[in-house]
Amino acid sequence: MLTNYIRASMQRARYEILQDSGAYYGSIPGFQGVWADAPTLEACREELQEVLEDWILLTVCRAEVLPVVDGIDLENDPRFVERVATARKSLREGRGVRIEDIDT
């Protein structure tokens, strides 16, 4: 579920080459603040996915709504909701949460 969401989100990514540095810049429309830049396209893609994963965790931890992507509505997926509840409990107990903790 979450893997499919990330994959679908990354399919929306847009990349460009920055004129001043020649670095690659990538962002995902609809995901405010999710962007990356790197010297190669592949490195930019990898960094962008890491930023997206962190953004998802932050959004979930702040109890904000995740956008629906290609019909994937995590907010209404019972498996995701259950995983998020478990992750929030871990945070309240002072334990960390990783993206793998909420993926199925």
Q: Model confidence over 9-35: pLDDT tens digits?
A: 999 999 999 999 999 999 999 999 999
pLDDT of res. 41: 98
Task: Delineate the domains of the chain, giving CATH numbers in brackets.
Answer: 2-102 (3.30.160.250)
Q: What is the pLDDT of residues 76-102, one digit of tens each?
A: 999 888 888 887 788 788 887 766 666
pTM of the model: 0.83
Positive or negative CA dihedral for 22, 10, 69, 84?
A: negative
pLDDT in tens, 58-75: 898 888 999 999 999 998
Question: Packing angle between helix 2-11 and helix 41-61, nearest 10 degrees?
Answer: 130
